[in-house]
Chain A
Amino acid sequence: MLTDIIQLTVRFLVLVLLQIVVLNNIQLSGFINPYLYVLFILMLPVKIPRLLLMLISFLTGLIIDLFSNTIGMHAGACVFMAFCRPGVLRLISPREGYEADATPSVTEMSFNWFVIYAGILILLHHLFLFYMEVFRFSEILSTLTRIAGSSVATLSLVIMSQFLFVKSRKDR
């Protein structure tokens, strides 16, 4: 339990710092922004209470906002993502259900499952985020392009991070 909390805190700090210091300064071809920090919310335990999940997500988004000068934008997107997460989990749950201490990751679940899970939530997050940023429907085509591009970039980074940093349960 304690190790879990430490592990989560470390992951949180690493991801947020990575996002603030490195990824916020990366703009691929001018309009693609990867938002890797959502990985923290993605990888919160499956059985976490929903309200807690939502509050943690809100705080995460708010911290990112504080550092990227977009107060409320990421917080809103993260809350939306947390709101959708239980539904998505239920939608793609394995036949025998989740284990009590399951964490959504490639190593614990299957690769396909994780891609679907992460893909849906990242897309929802980015939809919300970019529409909050643009704040109008008139530029719908360019906004959708940006959402698609950034979602692909974020998803690629999330999957890569799975293979680089997350230790296999069997190794532990």
Chain B
Amino acid sequence: MRSLFLLLWRNNFLITFLLLELLSFYLLVENNKYHNASVLNSANRMTARIYEGVNYVQEYIHLKTNNENLARENAMLRSRLPEAFYNNSFTRETVTDSAVRQQYSYITASVINNSVNRRNNYLTLDKGSLHGIEPEMGVISSTGVIGIIKDVSPHYSTVMSVLHKDTRISTRLKKSSYFGSLEWDGADPGEATLRQITTSTRIMKGDTVVTTTYSSIFPQDIMVGTILDFSVKPGESFYTIRVKLSTDFRSLSFVYVVGNVLKREQLDLQNKSAKENAN
């Protein structure tokens, strides 16, 4: 203690100087609004800087937790978006009339996956067996034939599109009722080939090609396309007809799945006849 006083006494000049400076500064700050505000402001800025630094470190430490929280929140928000909901509503149009027997029912579905650029193209629809879709149902749109249901899951179904090497659509010429099967040669998604129309019929460019009921898949007279041009190979009695498909497969959104109520009956009968014939 004594040495402390001694130290203070020895440096009395310096200490007086500091005290007087402090006093001046105190007076200055006390009596002057500008300096007052300025001191407070710089004090605030200093504390703000320190807080910023602390906050920066804390943020970094909590980064992982924060990321997890954000991801969880994102997932929760995403699950509330309209796109996250599976649309379970559908319409199945049937008509009740005693004079006519309902043969075809239509189920609306939307295309959720589609391709046109492969050799074998498939579509995926957002309706499945829960909505009454079964394999080998026909699929059409407002513009024409799309394809045939291939596989069905409870909520989804895949469609073998017309643009598939194994797809055969039973078609006929609307004008003359001659029929043949339509297939796709894999080149242009807007064109298909129709064979088996005999050269004895007169056909013209622009003639309409529609479906037949022979395969029990499609209803009668669903639009398929129009004749683009045709040719006859030497030595053959069938035309090779290039058909311009009426449906643009690149811009499909809503389609109808066609169910044939009497399909089972028709097929059973046909099989029975075929068997008897075989025997």
**A and B bound?**
yes
A76, B13: Cα distance in complex, Å:
15
Chain B interface size, under 10 / 10 to 19 / 20 to 34 / 35 or more: 10 to 19
Majority DSSP secondary structure for residues of B touching A: helix
Question: Is the pair B24, A73 in contact by a Cβ cutoff of 8 Å?
Answer: yes
- Residue of B12, B29, B31 with most chain A CB atoms under a 10 A cut-off: B31
A32 nearest CB across to chain B (Å): 21
Q: What's the least CB distance linking B34 to chain A, in Å?
A: 7
Binds B, one of A19-27, A50-58, A153-161: A50-58
Inter-chain contacts of A70 with B (CB < 8 A): 28, 32
Q: Which of B17, B30, B31, B38 contacts A135 (CB 8 A)?
A: B38
The answer to whether B34 touches A76 (Cβ under 8 A) is no
The range of chain A's interface size is 20 to 34
Q: Are B24 and A50 in contact (CB under 8 A)?
A: no
Chain A interface helix/strand/loop/mixed = helix
Shortest CB–CB separation between residue A128 and chain B, in angstroms? 9
B20 touches A58 (CB 8 A): yes
Are the C-beta atoms of A71 and B38 separated by less than 8 Å?
no
Q: Does B26 interact with chain A (Cβ within 8 Å)?
A: yes
Task: Considering the complex, give the chain B residue whose CB is closest to the CB of A128.
Answer: B21
CB <8 Å contact, A72 and B13 = no
Q: Which of B17, B28, B31 contacts A79 (CB 8 A)?
A: B17
Kindly identify which residue among B12, B17, B25, B34 contacts A72, using a CB–CB cutoff of 8 Å. Answer: B25
* Chain A residues, CB < 8 A from B24: 58, 61, 72-73, 75-76, 79
Residue A12 interfacial (CB < 8 Å): no
Q: Are A54 and B28 CB-contacts (below 8 A) given A135-B34, A135-B35?
A: no
Given known A71-B27, A71-B32, A132-B28, contact A76–B16 (CB-CB < 8 A) = no
Evaluate contact between B20 and A75: CB separation under 8 angstroms: yes
Q: Which A residues are CB-close (under 8 A) to B16?
A: 51, 54-55
What residues on A are CB-neighbors of B38 within 8 Å? 135-136
A77 to B31, CA, bound (A): 17
Asked if A83 lies at the interface with its beta carbon under 8 angstroms from chain B, I say yes
B34 touching A75 by the CB < 8 A rule?
Answer: no
B17 touching A75, Cβ below 8 Å: no
With A51-B13, A135-B35 given, is the CB distance from A72 to B20 under 8 Å?
no
A72 to B30, CA, bound (A): 9
Could you tell me which residues of chain B, from 27 to 46, have a CB within 8 Å of some CB in chain A? 27-32, 34-35, 38
CB distance from A37 to the nearest CB of B (A): 16
In angstroms, Cα B24 to Cα A39, docked, is 20
A130 interfacial by beta-carbon distance below 8 Å: no
Are A51 and B12 in touch, CB under 8 angstroms? yes
Listed from nearest, the 8 A-B pairs whose CB atoms lie closest are A72-B28, A76-B24, A72-B27, A71-B31, A75-B24, A72-B24, A79-B20, A83-B17
Known: A55-B16, A71-B32, A76-B24. 14 other contacts (CB 8 A): A51-B16, A58-B24, A62-B27, A71-B27, A71-B28, A73-B28, A75-B27, A76-B28, A79-B21, A80-B17, A80-B21, A83-B13, A83-B17, A136-B38
Chain B interfacial positions (CB closer than 8 Å to A): 12-13, 16-17, 20-21, 23-32, 34-35, 38
- 23 CB contacts below 8 A, A to B, read A51-B12, A51-B13, A51-B16, A54-B17, A55-B20, A58-B24, A61-B24, A62-B27, A71-B32, A72-B23, A72-B28, A72-B29, A72-B30, A72-B31, A72-B32, A73-B28, A75-B24, A76-B20, A76-B25, A79-B21, A82-B17, A135-B35, A136-B38
